[in-house]
Structure 1
Amino acid sequence: MTGDPLVGPPPASVIPASIIPVSIIVVSRHRPTELSFCLAAIRKQDHPNFELVVVADPATAAGIAVPGAKVVPFDEANISAARNAGLAQAAGEIVAFIDDDAVAEPRWLSRLTAPFEDPEVAATGGFVIGRNGISFQWKASAADRQGRSTPLEVDPAAVTVLAGSPGRAIRTEGTNCAFRRAILAERGGFDPAYRFYLDETDLNMRLAERGLKTAIVPRARVHHGFAASARRRADRTPTDLTEIGASQAVFLRRHAPMEEQAAALDRLRAEQAARAEKLRRRGRIDAAAKAHLLASLDRGIEAGLERPLSALAPVRAAPPAFRRLAGGSGAVRHLCGWSWQARRLRAAAPDAEGAGTTLLILFSPTTLFHRLRFTGTHWEQRGGLFGRSDRADPLFRFWTRKGRCAREASRLDF
């Protein structure tokens, strides 16, 4: 046996009836390895009409080898300003955003942008899956005028369109969202006063003030790894809270009444102190690191309270010409086999340039939990034949290999 190959065309319902040109914007800073995986997954997108804009530090920008991509060297540690630099180069009617430490499933872009066929939809947001490829980091939520998030219950298999209102925004995550370019540009793009954190929520609040509609698209999924940065380690342990404090202070000044701001900042200090203490008790930081974190938070709050806030000017409306990027064909091939067949099946898994996507599923005769990852050439899921791939599954369930392969292909819905 060399595995159980199954090939299928993309579902017709995935592709929008009218193909809207889309610009994908990726911001990257000193993370060339993570960026390479992100871009490899983008090149497999089944959407037939998109361009790629990459905004990156000069060294990373010089190493990007994606024919036709618009590459924008940018050397400022300000994600809002970097996204605006990408927006200025974007010629698509829709602009989609994904982080450099995330990878998109092959139908992500088609699904994320399909709701824009409704002229009343101004923004869309998809679900975000965590490092194990199974559990969700973010689903759907709303934000209030203090930046606090509340989960929203939506149909996990259908698009839900919701309207914001003054003081209540429908949130989109920066690593998986899209907007009508004209609306985003007219609103001034992202506010550079947010160098990191709450930048997307601020934009959501500005759209909500106009009552604009946001579509939540659960099946438009990206996998997000939380790569290390100047603010956190690879295990998500924070190393600096300056911009968390600064952004929260800016957000309150922008959106909350004066009488609520002091209490909201006190709550932030209490929450971060509790978080730091939990990390200390778990041995992930020591007392000195805890003190450093809380001091950096206070410095950030002070900086945010003093940071100049100005009206946002519209982003220029004449970007360079649209550069269509060749994506994947949309066909999905499934290969299933035993873990001891991994070498042979992996050799057969990579796809030719411009081809579809291969999902390789490797089973062991155990109850091990499953994990899913993008390798840079194909998607690979590993776990026990009788183990969980959905955290709602029982700890043990009997399967034949053929039945389990079909179930996983249906569950993932690539």
Structure 2
Amino acid sequence: MPGPPPTAHKISVVVCAFSEQRWDELCAAIASLEQQSLVPEDVVLVIDHNDRLFERALEVFDRATIMRNTAEKGLSGARNTGTEAARGSIILFLDDDATADRRWVERMVAPLEDPDIVGVGGTALPAWEGGAAPPWFPEEFYWVVGCSYRGLPTHRAQIRNPIGATMAFRASSLRECGGFASTLGRVGDKPVGCEETDLSLRIAAAQPQSRVILARDAVVHHRVPRQRQTASYFLRRCYWEGVSKAVLVHRLGERATQGLSDERKHALRTLPQGMLLAVAEAWKRRSPALALRAGSIPMGLAVTAAGYVAGSLKVAPFSSHAGVDAAYA
């Protein structure tokens, strides 16, 4: 079997972890990186303010560079710490609860042979604990669990931003734009997001000719535990997505408002289509559970909109992640 095509790039992979409760998933993520068809220059594991996890990682992962997050607590700070330490000219990011297919690195890096491409997103398939998605959970909302969702391009195409579980950027672009915003990004179990959107919009503003590409064949499997398969988590995550979008608009102003065209298209085109498909399938199968899926779509949209409105009213006085948390405590 032929090997991967040659590349002039040095490649780093950054993985961020914060909880020992995800130890088994972290071990699987690191193991998947050790079996890649294209071996990265280095794997940087950043431990987010957890001394016990840091010591445990030092004992086990002898092939990775283990670091403490030296920036603000949270996923954005941990990613920025990893970015500064990475030796590669291209930096890939893999979530600590995701495992990469064997050719993931190879397929993520390939589009970056084009100098106009500064970022790449892959496909994040949900690995549902229990084996299958809840029947009421709409595929249009798989972003709630950090996975690729219905409405994304089905082939290689330009996108605004990648999904955080599987993404790559040129190190120079990441560093020149100041990295990920600490105002955004998950801190522990607080589901604030949009840091990838914020980053991509800032890179696009600084490099107008640049593009971010979706590589559909670069696949990771993102674990979805049972506690993220509940209606309460679904609604909470939708609400915080709305809040996150409000923070994003406050940060970037008109640039962010224009950048949210993807959300408008999703709300006006993909979600109505999803409702019709769910209703038709529920009728065909005589399934009340599938009928609930049709109802979950407008409910999720309404709660996301409510989060956006609440965020627009509350977030403006705050410039830090701690301020956002305090507003919603």
- Give me the TM-score of the superposition, normalised by structure 2: 0.64
Q: Distance in 1 between matches of 2:42 and 2:150?
A: 34
Deviations 1:249-287 (A, max 9, x none): 2112134449x79xx9xx9xxxxxxxxxxx9x98xxxxx
Aligned partner of residue 72 in structure 1, secondary structure:
strand
Q: Which residue of 2 aligns with 1:358?
A: none
Aligned 1:335-414 pairs, distance under 5 A: none
Q: CA RMSD in A?
A: 3.9
Q: Distance in 1 between matches of 2:312 and 2:40?
A: 43
User: What's the CA shift for 1:175?
Assistant: 0.5
Q: Which residue of 2 aligns with 1:124?
A: 120
| Pick aligned residue for 1:253 from 246, 250, 254 | 250
Q: Which residue of 2 aligns with 1:103?
A: 99
Q: Which residue of 2 aligns with 1:180?
A: 170
Aligned amino acid, residue 211 of structure 2? K
Aligned 1:230-379 pairs, distance under 5 A: 233-235=227-229, 237-238=231-232, 243-257=240-254, 304-308=315-319
Q: Which residue of 2 aligns with 1:53?
A: 44
Q: Which residue of 2 aligns with 1:28?
A: 17
Q: Which residue of 1 aligns with 2:63?
A: 68
Aligned partner of residue 221 in structure 1, secondary structure:
strand
Closer, same or farther: CA 186–177 of 1 in aligned 2, 3 Å: same
User: What's the CA shift for 1:88?
Assistant: 1.2
Closer, same or farther: CA 227–182 of 1 in aligned 2, 3 Å: farther
Q: Distance in 2 between matches of 1:246 and 1:111?
A: 33
Q: Distance in 1 between matches of 2:132 and 2:116?
A: 33
Deviations 1:151-197 (A, max 9, x none): 35343xxx44x3xxxxxx62201111100001110000101110331
Query: In the alignment, is the contact (CA less than 8 A) between 2:14 and 2:94 conserved in 1?
Result: yes
Q: Which residue of 2 aligns with 1:153?
A: 153
Aligned amino acid, residue 66 of structure 1? F
Identity %: 27
Aligned amino acid, residue 235 of structure 1? Q
Q: Distance in 1 between matches of 2:64 and 2:11?
A: 13
User: What's the CA shift for 1:114?
Assistant: 1.4
| Pick aligned residue for 1:189 from 165, 179, 186 | 179
Higher alpha-carbon Rg: 1
Query: In the alignment, is the contact (CA less than 8 A) between 1:246 and 1:302 conserved in 2?
Result: no
Aligned partner of residue 23 in structure 1, secondary structure:
strand
Q: Distance in 1 between matches of 2:249 and 2:310?
A: 16
Aligned partner of residue 46 in structure 2, secondary structure:
strand
Q: Distance in 1 between matches of 2:38 and 2:98?
A: 18
Query: In the alignment, is the contact (CA less than 8 A) between 2:69 and 2:77 conserved in 1?
Result: no
More strand by share: 1
Aligned partner of residue 92 in structure 1, secondary structure:
coil
Q: Which residue of 2 aligns with 1:207?
A: 203
Q: Which residue of 1 aligns with 2:222?
A: 224
Runs of 4+ residues over 6 Å off in structure 1: 133-138
Query: In the alignment, is the contact (CA less than 8 A) between 1:53 and 1:90 conserved in 2?
Result: yes
Query: In the alignment, is the contact (CA less than 8 A) between 1:244 and 1:300 conserved in 2?
Result: no
Q: Distance in 1 between matches of 2:132 and 2:102?
A: 16
User: What's the CA shift for 1:84?
Assistant: 0.5
Closer, same or farther: CA 112–60 of 1 in aligned 2, 3 Å: same
Gaps of 5+ in 2: 144-148, 186-191, 265-288, 293-302, 322-329
Deviations 1:98-119 (A, max 9, x none): 1111110011001101122222
Aligned partner of residue 315 in structure 2, secondary structure:
helix
Aligned residue pairs, count: 250
Q: Distance in 1 between matches of 2:225 and 2:311?
A: 22
Aligned amino acid, residue 194 of structure 1? L
Query: In the alignment, is the contact (CA less than 8 A) between 2:123 and 2:216 conserved in 1?
Result: yes
Query: In the alignment, is the contact (CA less than 8 A) between 2:40 and 2:105 conserved in 1?
Result: no
Closer, same or farther: CA 219–309 of 1 in aligned 2, 3 Å: same
More helix by share: 2
Q: Distance in 1 between matches of 2:101 and 2:194?
A: 25
Closer, same or farther: CA 19–63 of 1 in aligned 2, 3 Å: farther
Query: In the alignment, is the contact (CA less than 8 A) between 1:25 and 1:53 conserved in 2?
Result: yes
Q: Which residue of 1 aligns with 2:33?
A: 42
Closer, same or farther: CA 187–134 of 1 in aligned 2, 3 Å: farther
Aligned amino acid, residue 162 of structure 2? T
Q: Which residue of 2 aligns with 1:18?
A: 7
Query: In the alignment, is the contact (CA less than 8 A) between 1:245 and 1:301 conserved in 2?
Result: no
Aligned amino acid, residue 151 of structure 1? G
